[in-house]
């Protein structure tokens, strides 16, 4: 059975974990879905892992459409989530136009980064049949404003504000929330504060689902490895085996461990 937003909600209600992994082409899309991953994220992370940029900012709509189309062709029943790139959703009207292009390319929902200022945009998209995932915490498109890739929400006021943003976004129509690089305690509290499924990366084990960048999971990303990453290829003899090990580790609660989380 294909994964849907409703089946992810059912996972949350049943207390069952689900997995998400980035994918950028047809071949890996086929592998990822066949290995049991529920959600494929066509991430603007491709700007870094495929194109060699030092951020996601140079990624264009045309590139996101191209990769979404490729992932769609190889998909084996996973839910396809596509990132809307930097400055492609600065206004609700611009967001609607660009989100429609990603949906036509094969996405099942789109992901946008930011707080409650996005609520009008989320409402407009949701009312017109475009599901939305809102991305909170470390938002890579705002890296210059944040002053680097840093853990977000450690201060009490900032933590409460993040929860308020998530509640407002769900009320506006957000179907999923993605939390990146936030303390585990905050992620746990936020996950329990809303009925929408929450996907975490560097957010501890208390979220409903987990996401990793495929290149990180396979241990082939050059440079310093982020704390929240685990190389599943190190103990596997195939790419498919590494992806299946990731799925199993998430569903059994073995990943992420405390060593992959922030306090």
Tokens 């996601």 sit at which residue? 56
| Strand pairing class (79-83; 39-42) | parallel
Instruction: Indicate the angle between helix axes 61-74 and 92-105, nearest 10 degrees.
Output: 30
208 is in an annotated binding site: no
Q: Which of 131, 37, 120 is nearest to 81 (CA)?
A: 131
180 counts as catalytic: yes
Q: Find the catalytic residue in 16, 97, 180, 259.
A: 180
120 is in an annotated binding site: no
- The dihedral formed by the CA atoms of 88, 175, 199 and 9, expressed in degrees to the nearest 10: -160
126 is in an annotated binding site: no
The tokens for 219 are 């241990």
231 is in an annotated binding site: no
Burial string for 105-135 (b: 16+ CB within 10 Å, else e) reads bbbbbbbbbbbbebbebbbbbeeeebbbbbb
Of the chain, the end-to-end C-alpha distance in Å amounts to: 37
Strands (E), the chain: 18-22, 39-42, 79-83, 109-113, 132-137, 176-180, 198-201, 209-212
Neighbours of 239 (CB within 10 A): 18
Binding residue ranges for 3-methyl-2-oxobutanoate: 44-45, 83, 111
Binding residue ranges for Mg(2+): 44, 83, 113
Enzyme catalytic residues: 180
Binding residue ranges: 44-45, 83, 111, 113
């Amino acid at each position: 059975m294909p994964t849907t937003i409703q089946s992810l909600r059912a996972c949350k209600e049943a207390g069952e974990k689900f997995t998400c992994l980035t994918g950028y082409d047809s071949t890996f899309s086929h592998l990822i879905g066949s290995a049991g991953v529920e959600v494929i994220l066509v991430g603007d992370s491709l700007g870094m892992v495929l194109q060699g940029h030092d951020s996601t900012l140079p990624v264009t709509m045309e590139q996101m459409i191209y990769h979404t189309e490729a992932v769609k062709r190889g998909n084996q029943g996973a839910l396809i989530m596509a990132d809307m790139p930097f400055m492609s959703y600065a206004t609700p009207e611009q967001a609607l136009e660009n989100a429609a292009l990603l949906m036509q390319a094969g996405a099942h929902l789109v992901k946008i980064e930011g707080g409650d200022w996005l609520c009008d945009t989320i409402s407009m998209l949701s009312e017109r049949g475009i599901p939305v995932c809102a991305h909170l915490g470390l938002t890579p498109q705002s890296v210059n404003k944040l002053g680097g890739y840093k853990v977000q929400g450690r201060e009490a006021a900032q933590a409460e504000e993040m929860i308020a943003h998530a509640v407002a976004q769900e009320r506006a129509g957000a179907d999923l929330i993605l939390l990146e690089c936030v303390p585990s305690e905050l992620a746990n509290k936020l996950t329990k504060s809303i009925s929408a499924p929450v996907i975490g990366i560097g957010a501890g084990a208390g979220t409903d689902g987990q996401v990793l960048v495929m290149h990180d999971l396979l241990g082939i990303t050059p440079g310093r490895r982020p704390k929240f990453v685990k190389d599943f290829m190190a103990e596997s003899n195939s790419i498919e085996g590494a992806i299946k090990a990731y799925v199993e580790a998430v569903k059994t609660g073995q990943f992420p461990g405390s060593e992959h989380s922030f306090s």
